[in-house]
DNA sequence: TATGAATGAGCTTTCATTCAT
DNA sequence: GATGAATGAAAGCTCATTCAT
């Protein structure tokens, strides 16, 4: 069955990510991926130079999604609504994409993946810069005088919620905590 | 060379943790561990039923350290100083034990380790309960009317700082952010 | 060197059976099998899921040979000649295939192989039924009024000869005893 | 706990035989044997030079039992009762000692055990000779003119019954067939 | 006698990758 | 493009045996 190269690549990536999420990168064999994608092993190596390249492509796809978030933040004038966009994105990533998020986090944290991760991030470094600018603008618009200084703490709160939920979803009331978080940062305007 | 059982176990664990931190659990072979511990492969299996059991022992050791933290919190009357204890512990874990912390986090997050992690945590479940009680007491003493409700957000901030530092130490000014964090929570007394 | 899948499977089985006969299943390593078949170790696992599966295939091949015997019995009208067919088969199995027979017997008798043997026999259970029917018909045609009741004793005699020969070929005059056995069962017509 | 050497040896052998019967010789480790016998591994090697020596001792014990059978046959004047003694012994060996019998047969048949078996039988070769004399005498007394010529067929019947029962106890009505066998050989007096 | 720490060779199995077809 | 046969290295684990204590 002839398909376009892009279609093929997508099929392989779709199969791979499902298996990586479930069993981890190391515990997933190329054989399993190709079986799930219903292609031969040889063909997978036609499209990807190695198993690592598959992971690389996966990370790339994920990072590309950040651009969309940045764009949406740029387009929204209201600071409150921008804060809500960020929170909604977090909730969606972490609740709908629970397994994927766990997989990405562990991939990024494992030192043996360092080179790979560096490689993936080098593709478009301005990506992170743009998002950060949006976050700073948000904090400034929310009333923080030194928004840049506030950013790390803001991010820590965000990532911390995500992390604790992923660690034990049943034990962490993510939606509720997220609402508290929004409240805390919305009120900031009148303070500081 | 004959050694006592405890000594040997420790040597193996010491070698294992160093390698796990550096290359990850999967990428570390039992052969490498025993080479580093300067013993034969067979002997490792004399002391640990499997490679997984080595990891289990390692996690157990780490969790046991929590008890010490809880004890120190209990013993300290001043809320401000208790907050500082928590922060210092965090800084120490994450700066001095950067690699180890990364290793533990990824171990806990990877779904393929679920059973293992469950097993390790079952050993002493009251451990987490006690620490949580201390954290709630701290927040209450810091002036939070509903300390229990505040806990998740507090923890999110703490874990988020640790996480962002581990993700990219050079890009996250941990000490500085931690200071901000302390400030924010110390002031709470007069608010809410 | 590329070969067809069937060819390869046969090569592996041929090598395996020779080694199993000589040294036993447990004492034969997959490495030895693949060395003898002049292929890599990995390839054996491409064709057989496990070492056990190789044994399973071997047993299957052997059991399939029973069908041929049943067919030949069915086709022969004379009872005397049918008795001779059975005896000839026994002599052939046990004299030409001495080692193989010893290997099969021990494989079937060892309790640790129980599951394997059950699995191998489940493939075609009617096989044994058909052969048994032929044996009963033979005994009936040889003059036994209750052929079904006679069958176990008949079989015991047959198997006993085989067994004693295999136990110590030099000490058991199989051909001669087989001739006595034939004589005894041929005369039955006039008796009982 | 100090015990006599003989007691110790017996304990080890008892443990070993139970495990060998269940899992086979190869699949039983010395560790398992010593655990079952509640002694240390070192001690087992104090009493037996090797794992093979344990098997050797086991076979020796079994062969020694033959002497008792021979003695009982010698002491009994009635041929019918002697036949019954043989049959009873067979039934007992094979029904009560089903697993053990299976283990012994496979041990004797496996070519890799040849040297071991030879060694075990060399201890007292006259043992087999004596029993054989008794069997010949029995057949003669039962009315066979050429008892010596009849012996192989007689033995084949005996061993065949044992073998078929061990192969599949549920499918072979041993007691009933044994009764038929006795009948057949008892009547011989008037024939031939 | 008695222990169990220690070894080292060997086992089955997996797997990323290559390549003839 | 597409297949799957083929490789070889390495992994986790077992085990008979030895030996210091």
Min distance D146 CA to chain C CA atoms (Å) = 12
Please report where in the chains the tokens 């060197």 appear, as a residue.
C1
Read off the DSSP letter of residue A185: H
Question: Across all residues in chain D, what is the average pLDDT?
Answer: 94
pLDDT band at C106 (very low <50, low <70, confident <90, very high): very high
> Scanning the structure block, which residue is given the tokens 């076979």?
D59
In angstroms, the CA D78 to CA D29 distance is 47
What interhelical angle do B79-91 and B147-167 show, nearest 10? 30
pLDDT digits (tens, 9 = 90+) for B59-110: 999 999 999 999 999 999 999 999 999 999 999 999 999 999 999 999 999 9
All CATH 1.10.357 domain ranges of chain C, comma separated, are 65-186
C-alpha count within 13 angstroms, C-beta hemisphere, residue D64: 7
Q: How confident is the model at residue C24 (pLDDT cuts 50, 70, 90)?
A: very high
pLDDT beneath 70: ranges in chain B = 1, 188-192
* pLDDT one-digit tens code per residue, C46-71: 999 999 999 999 999 999 999 999 99
Chain D residues inside the 8 Å CB shell of C160: 155-161, 163
pTM: 0.92
In chain C, residues 33 through 52 whose Cβ sits under 7 angstroms from any atom of nucleic acid strand F: 39-43, 45-46
Total residue count of chain D as it appears in this document? 192
If you average pLDDT over residues D33-43, what whole number do you get? 96
Q: What is the mean pLDDT of residues D28-52?
A: 96
CA distance D164 to C152: 8
Q: Is the dihedral of CA A24, A26, A27, A30 positive or negative?
A: positive
Q: Are C3 and C20 in contact (CB under 8 A)?
A: no
Cβ contact C175:C164 at 8 Å: no
Residues of B with Cβ-Cβ distance to A163 under 8 angstroms: 156, 159-160, 163
Per run of 10 residues, the mean pLDDT along chain A (length 192 residues) is 80 97 96 97 97 96 95 96 97 97 97 93 91 97 95 98 97 97 79 48
Rounded Cα gap, residues A32 and A41, in angstroms: 9
Domain C65-186 matching CATH 3.30.450: the answer reads no
- Do D and C share at least 3 CB pairs under 8 Å? yes
Q: Which residues from chain B sit within 8 angstroms of residue A153, using beta carbons?
A: 157, 161, 177, 180-181, 184
> CB–CB of B20/B104 below 8 Å?
no
Percent of chain D with pLDDT over 70: 95
Query: Rounded to whole angstroms, what are the CA distances from C81 to A46, C49, C61, C186?
Result: 64, 43, 26, 10
Please give the backbone phi and psi of residue C29, each rounded to the nearest 5 degrees, phi first: -95, 155
Q: How many CB atoms lie within 10 A of CB B94?
A: 22
pLDDT at C1 over 70: no
CB neighbours of B46 closer than 8 A, spacing ≥ 6?
none
**Cα dist. A187→A88, A143, C47 in Å?**
19, 9, 67
Q: What is the pLDDT of residue C188?
A: 54
In chain C, CATH 1.10.10.60 sits at: 1-49
Q: What was the pLDDT predicted at D192?
A: 45
Provide CATH code, domain D1-49: 1.10.10.60
CB contact under 8 A, C111 and D99: yes
Q: Which helix (H) or strand (E) holds A146?
A: none
Kindly indicate the confidence band of residue D95, based on its pLDDT and cuts at 50, 70 and 90.
very high
Q: How far apart are CA C80 and CA C90, in angstroms?
A: 15
Distance between the alpha carbon (CA) of B42 and the C1' atom of E8, Å: 8
**Of B21, B106, B177, Cβ closest to residue A153:** B177
pLDDT, residue C192, reads: 45
CA torsion B120→B122→B127→B132, rounded to 10°?
A: 100
Mean pLDDT of C72-88: 97
Q: What is the pLDDT of residues D131-185, one digit of tens each?
A: 999 999 999 999 999 999 999 999 999 999 999 999 999 999 999 999 999 999 9
pLDDT of residue B192: 46
């Amino acid at each position: 069955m002839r398909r376009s190269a892009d279609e093929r690549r997508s099929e392989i990536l779709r199969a791979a990510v499902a298996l990586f999420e479930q069993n981890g990168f190391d515990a997933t064999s190329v054989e399993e991926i190709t079986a799930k994608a219903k292609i031969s092993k040889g063909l997978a190596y036609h499209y990807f130079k190695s198993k690592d390249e598959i992971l690389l492509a996966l990370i790339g796809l994920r990072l590309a999604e950040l651009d969309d978030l940045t764009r949406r933040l740029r387009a929204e004038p209201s600071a409150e609504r921008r804060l809500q966009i960020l929170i909604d994105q977090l909730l969606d990533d972490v609740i709908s994409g629970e397994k994927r998020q766990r997989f990405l986090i562990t991939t990024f944290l494992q030192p043996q993946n360092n080179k790979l991760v560096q490689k993936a991030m080098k593709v478009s470094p301005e990506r992170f810069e743009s998002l950060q600018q949006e976050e700073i603008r948000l904090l400034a618009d929310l009333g923080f005088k030194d928004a840049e200084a506030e950013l790390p703490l803001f991010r820590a709160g965000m990532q911390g919620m995500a992390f604790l939920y992923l660690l034990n979803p049943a034990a962490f009331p993510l939606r509720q905590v997220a609402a508290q978080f929004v409240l805390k940062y919305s009120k900031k305007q009148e303070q500081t």
